[in-house]
Amino acid sequence: MVEGNHLFSHVLFSGGTGRSGTTIVGRLLSRHSKVTMAKPAEIKFLTAGNGILDLSQRRRVGKYRRLIFNNRLHLERFKYRLFHDWWQRDSKFGGSAGLFQGISEEQLKEIYSHLKRHFDLDIKKASQSFMRDFIEIQLQNARKELWIDTTPVNIFRSREIQELLPGCRFIHMVRDGRDVISSAIREKWGPTNYEDGLLWYRRRMIRNLKNGITLKDCTITLSLEDLVIHNRQESLEKLLAFLGIKEERNFKEFFDKMMLASSINKGRWKSEVVDIAKFNKAYADLVDEFRAIDSSLPL
């Protein structure tokens, strides 16, 4: 493994606003002989409340934060979520998802014990080692070199992730915000209407873009529409060059056959928004605001 600032150069994170193609790009890359997707695709315990990021920063959040009045209780809260909330949860596609998909309970207990033993000596290093051990187990199981997690909030918290995992790289997936909102309002966690959706989308995009500017050397921004519809080969080559891997036959076949315009619901908002002209104007104003932050934004 590489030392120093490139310690986690084999670790990749895709992310975005949510509903912007983070899982799609992860599935594509997992078809490559060098890349494995995290199991589950969204591990949760890194960026979720009182997850490993919060633990390493001593940042307590959520309804239990007043009860977590010291570092040891914070560690116990993390342990509870690790072996309950994140170990197994209901999947929106039916069945169950969770950490059990990619690591045995015995292995998870072992790396947690290592975290606990070293926690008081150096919380940040202990948290870093926990992540390293978890990722190494999954890489060894898959016999691959690169690992990618596709939790959307990865970009929202990318500066914190980079601080904990120096050398890791980010794929910021962006998508026409009108389609993002149309998709997000169908989710339990999303905004409830298009008006609120514009505010939700703006907040996430501004934070993501500012993080991308700060971490420009280890972040690539890709448009879902370019990758799937408009500039397919150019976008694919840009992604592979960023990761330092070459195109392969099986990988390209998956891209050609499965990464199609029909796989994304483009333009559904047009039949749902009451005042299209007003909505388009509000969205255009947001894009102008975003481009003032990053003039190269592919929207």
Does the pTM of the predicted model rise above 0.75? Answer: yes
Residue 64 has pLDDT above 90, yes or no: no
Residues 173-203 pLDDT 10s: 999 999 999 999 999 999 999 999 999 999 9
What pLDDT was estimated at residue 250? 95
Among 218, 212, 209, 164, which Cα is nearest to 12's? 218
Residue 1 has pLDDT above 50, yes or no: no
Task: Pull the structure tokens for residue 48.
Answer: 């979720």
Among 78, 38, 82, which Cα is nearest to 61's? 78
What pLDDT was estimated at residue 240? 98
Q: Residue 174 corresponds to which amino acid?
A: V
Specify the residue for token string 């315009």. Answer: 261
Domains and CATH numbers, the chain: 1-34+146-299 (3.40.50.300), 43-144 (no CATH)
Among 6, 33, 7, 9, which Cα is nearest to 169's? 9
Residues 217-257 pLDDT 10s: 999 999 999 999 999 999 999 999 999 999 999 999 999 99
Give the C-alpha distances (Å, rounded to integers) separating 207 from 16, 172, 214, 283.
Answer: 10, 12, 11, 17
Average pLDDT, the chain: 95
